[in-house]
């Protein structure tokens, strides 16, 4: 059927089902985009939070331990000593990002000093660690979201009936998800062109065919269940520790990091002043 040919339903039930499925599919695509955006946002927020604020959290723990130890040294009270021990025992520095390397060097099992040994290049020079880069954006921009939404609407594996077509779509949508996670608008645009030039048959019964009404009922049932699962997934993401933190300022996660940094700097200054008072008292 040509794209510009109006659809004529002889079955009122089929027409009603068509309308319900169209609405449900639009809601599903929006929900998929929203939850994937939130997942990416949380991952990126956690990374940037770790990079920017991790050292300040460590400093706060160090100051708490130093204050407790100084208090215990002055008082000699067993309860103060216990608190000092606990403060020191929970002091766990953030992982050193410089300890992470891109890949083991070739021949990593070779004896120390051999060419290609772990931690050195083939000429004996130290291998420079690759520091994880801070994402350019915590949240994919609007153009990336628009492209992702369009690709999800057209290429999602769940839109196909044939298993082989579902598998092809799954591989393709994985590439889409990876580009969206990077916020790579150019790659998403290239993928949109690629899909437009080579999309396959979804295997969906055409309007007016004997199988169409049954397929629509099954599709509507699937969409309802899928929307419920997406809602549950979103609730889990929001209820996670990082999700609860992000919800403090959900509309501007970049600004939230600035606010948190200012609060932490204030807390560090207060702890340092308290330590100075204990040591000087």
Q: Which residue has the tokens 């929006």?
A: 30
Cα dist. 170→110, 157, 166 in Å? Answer: 40, 5, 6
User: Residue 64: how many CB atoms within 10 A of its CB?
Assistant: 20
> Under 8 Å CB-to-CB from 30, ≥6 apart: which residues?
149
pLDDT at 136: 56
What torsion, rounded to 10 degrees, do the Cα atoms 274, 89, 132, 115 define? 130
Helices marked H in 76-158 — which ranges?
A: 78-89, 142-155
| Residuewise pLDDT in 10s, the chain (281 residues) | 444 444 454 578 888 888 999 899 889 988 988 898 899 889 988 988 888 888 999 899 999 999 999 999 999 999 989 999 998 888 755 555 444 444 444 444 444 443 443 344 444 454 444 444 555 567 788 899 899 988 988 888 887 778 888 899 999 999 999 999 888 999 999 999 998 866 555 667 777 788 888 888 988 998 999 999 999 999 999 999 999 999 998 888 888 888 999 999 999 999 999 999 998 86
> Under 8 Å CB-to-CB from 4, ≥6 apart: which residues?
none
Q: At what angle do helices 142-155 and 185-198 cross, to 10 degrees?
A: 20
> Under 8 Å CB-to-CB from 81, ≥6 apart: which residues?
72
pLDDT at 179: 92
- Token pair of 49 as six digits: 């939070």
- Token pair of 248 as six digits: 């403090």
pLDDT at 241: 92
Task: Return phi, psi of residue 111, to 5°.
Answer: -60, 160
pLDDT at 67: 93
């Amino acid at each position: 059927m040509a794209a510009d040919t109006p659809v004529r339903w002889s079955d009122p039930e089929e027409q009603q089902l068509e309308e319900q499925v169209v609405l449900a599919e639009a809601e599903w695509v929006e929900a998929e985009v929203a939850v994937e955006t939130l997942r990416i946002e949380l991952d990126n927020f956690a990374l940037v939070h770790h990079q920017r604020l991790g050292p300040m959290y460590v400093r706060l723990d160090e100051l708490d331990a130093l204050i407790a130890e100084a208090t215990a040294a002055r008082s000699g009270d067993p309860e103060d000593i216990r608190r000092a021990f606990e403060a020191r025992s929970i002091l766990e520095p953030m992982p050193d990002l410089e300890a992470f390397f891109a890949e083991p060097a070739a021949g990593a099992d070779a004896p120390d000093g051999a060419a290609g040994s772990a931690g050195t290049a083939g000429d004996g020079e130290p291998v420079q660690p690759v520091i994880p880069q801070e994402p350019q954006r915590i949240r994919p921009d609007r153009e990336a979201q628009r492209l992702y939404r369009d690709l999800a609407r057209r290429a999602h594996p769940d839109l196909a009936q044939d298993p082989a077509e579902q598998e092809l779509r799954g591989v393709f949508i994985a590439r889409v998800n990876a580009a969206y996670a990077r916020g790579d608008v150019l790659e998403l645009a290239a993928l949109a062109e690629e899909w437009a030039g080579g999309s396959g048959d979804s295997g969906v019964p055409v309007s007016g065919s004997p199988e169409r009404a049954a397929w629509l009922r099954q599709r509507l049932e699937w969409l309802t269940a899928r929307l419920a699962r997406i809602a549950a997934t979103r609730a889990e993401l929001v209820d996670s520790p990082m999700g609860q933190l992000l919800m403090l300022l959900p509309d501007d996660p970049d600004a939230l990091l600035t606010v948190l940094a200012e609060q932490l700097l204030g807390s560090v200054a207060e702890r340092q002043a308290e330590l100075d008072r204990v040591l000087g008292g």
